[in-house]
Amino acid sequence: MKFTINRDLLLDALNNVSRGLSSKTPMPVLTGIKIEVSKEDITLITTNREISVKVVLNKVENIDILEDGVCVVPGKYFIDIIKKLEGDTVEFTLFDANTIKIISERTTFTLISLDYSNYPNINFSVNSEPIILGSKVLKNYIRQTAFAAGVNESRMILTGVCLETNQNKLQMIATDSYRLAKKVSLSENPYPKTKIIIPSKSIEELSKILEDESEDVKVYFANNRALFEYKNISFITRLIEGTFPDTSSIIPTEHIVEIKFNKPLLLSTVDRASLFTTQNNGSIIKMSTDANGVVQIASISTEIGKVVEEIVPLNIDKKGHFQIAFSAKYFLEAIKAFDGTEIVIKFTGELKPFLLTSPDDENFVQVILPVRYF
């Protein structure tokens, strides 16, 4: 095997394919990147059994393929080497069956390859009708939902993001039972009907590959796995088996207090209040209103001190005393997920879930469960 390639082109491919690398595995070969070279292209493959990624580099002006072959190169070391090389071009040669030489300008590295015969055979094809989404759209949907998924593997279903399509409607929902994020979109063309649960860690790794541009992403589902095809990248993740809980009853339909805030102002206020939250007080902040419609946000720590700040909302539909307490972390993450400059919060009671929406995006809602703290 022998080829030369533009360093930046190779590094970009390695950054994408590295999403599937294993760090802790009983199979050392999974810490490597499988490189398959033919007369027409160079294919890079990684897998950690949960995620598998393939990047295909077709023979172009920046690639010169001199000899085909297959090898598995130690992933971490190979990526670090390419990052630190200063030359514009990298020459890659496999000789003596298991020795790899990497040359760029005055620098030469030698690596011992892993046994590619032990590398699992990954099938990067799924026989189903695809859902087609814009890369920028999908990346935004992931950003607005995946953070709300659970991390406790004893409730594995809640560690995933539920993606459901029916006719012209697509929705993504994530919840850890204490908060919920739901994004809905409508399409002019009908979607294939499906309902799957994608591990949040997997879909967040996919998001790091997607760029903010109008490239299509084809999404296939079959045999308990999902395949995402984007540019020259194929990304496979396993799916979580089971039934995602019905969350429709969790989203409040009525409220007793509705407050509209300037998002940047609310974000900075809550961020300051959260400085005094600790593990001992559960990272809790309190919000209250008075008869004049002024909102007060406070945090108290017996170990550190107290912070109280008043904020004048853009609008409040009911003046009078109201108070509620909730997780500062959950609230900040919820606010940051919204686009636009305004946030509307609808409270249903001091100990009942409250709803966050935005006039800029009526198809995105979040729910947070308050805590008893008075």
d(CA 357, CA 367): 9
Phi, psi of 89 (to 5 degrees): -125, 140
> Is residue 302 scored above 80 in pLDDT?
no
Contact 50, 206 (CB under 8 A): no
DSSP state of 114: B
Same domain, 138 and 72: no
> Is residue 374 scored above 60 in pLDDT?
no
> Is residue 138 scored above 90 in pLDDT?
yes
Model confidence band, residue 300 (pLDDT cutoffs 50, 70, 90) = confident
> In this structure, are strands 225-230 and 216-222 parallel, antiparallel, or unpaired?
antiparallel
* pLDDT value of residue 371: 92
Same domain, 6 and 114: yes
Name the average pLDDT for the chain: 93
- Residue pLDDT, tens place only, 79-100: 999 999 999 999 999 998 899 9
**Overall domain count for the chain:** 3
Question: Among the listed ranges 89-98, 302-311, 351-360, which one has the minimum average pLDDT value?
Answer: 302-311
Same domain, 113 and 8: yes
Does 249 reside within a domain? no
Mean pLDDT of the 27-33 span: 94
- The helix or strand, by DSSP H or E, that contains position 348, with its residue range, turns out to be none
Same domain, 285 and 200: no
Same domain, 151 and 109: no
Structure tokens at 100: 């790899």
Residue 55: name the closest of 137, 135, 124, 134 by CA.
124
Same domain, 109 and 180: no
Three-class secondary structure assignment of 37-85 = ECCCEEEEEEECCCEEEEEEEECCCCEEEEECEEEEEEHHHHHHHHHHC
Residue 135: name the closest of 201, 209, 191 by CA.
209
Burial of residue 7 (CB within 10 Å: 0-12, 13-18, 19+) is: middle
Same domain, 266 and 215: no
Same domain, 216 and 268: no
Of 91, 118, 145, which residue constitutes the final position of a domain?
A: 118
Threshold 0.85, pTM exceeds = yes
* pLDDT value of residue 306: 87
The whole domain housing 74 covers 2-118
